């Protein structure tokens, strides 16, 4: 997988995670508001207290469902993030391996070129020494 595809998939993963989290939060806020904004049906104080307990119970159920759903989503996101991190690591490893191969190849070329230059210089010095005698 190349860097562009990997970047695109990582970006899509982050956008999906953000939109999913925002949707969950808005749904939770809407459901909570509907529970809290519901007009009281009773007039007696004891009935109002009972209705408040029912509303509190419903809000706790909503919160529990929200947290359960969020933890499931975050778990899936964590698994996907680990997979993406693994892909990034493998891609970087291949890149560094290629870089190392290029560096070794360049060093071998320099070694050969230097060897040829030294051989040529040695022959030139030997020829100069023979002609000087």
pLDDT in tens, 68-95: 999 999 999 999 999 999 999 998 899 8
pTM above 0.75, yes or no: no
In which domain, by residue range, is 49 found? 3-132
Q: For 97-107, what is the mean pLDDT?
A: 91
The three-class DSSP label of residue 42 is coil
Q: How is residue 125 written in tokens?
A: 């010095």
Asked if 48 and 40 count as a contact pair (C-beta separation under 8 A), the reply is yes
> What is the rounded distance in angstroms from the CA atom of residue 111 to the CA atom of residue 116?
9
**Residue recorded with tokens 């860097």:** 3
3-7, 19-23, 24-28, 124-128: segment of lowest average pLDDT: 124-128
Domain count of the fold of the chain: 1
The three-class DSSP label of residue 38 is coil
């Amino acid at each position: 997988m190349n860097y562009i595809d990997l970047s695109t998939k990582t970006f899509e993963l982050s956008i999906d995670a953000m939109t999913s989290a925002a949707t969950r939060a808005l749904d939770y806020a809407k459901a909570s508001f509907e529970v809290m904004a519901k007009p009281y049906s009773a007039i007696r104080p004891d009935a109002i207290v009972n209705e408040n307990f029912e509303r509190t119970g419903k809000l706790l159920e909503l919160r529990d469902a929200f947290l359960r759903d969020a933890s499931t989503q975050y778990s899936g996101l964590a698994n996907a993030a680990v997979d993406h991190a693994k892909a990034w690591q493998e891609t970087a490893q291949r890149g560094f391996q290629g870089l190392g191969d290029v560096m070794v190849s360049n060093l071998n070329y320099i070694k050969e070129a230097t060897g040829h230059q030294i051989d040529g210089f040695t022959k030139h010095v030997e020829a100069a020494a023979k002609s000087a005698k």
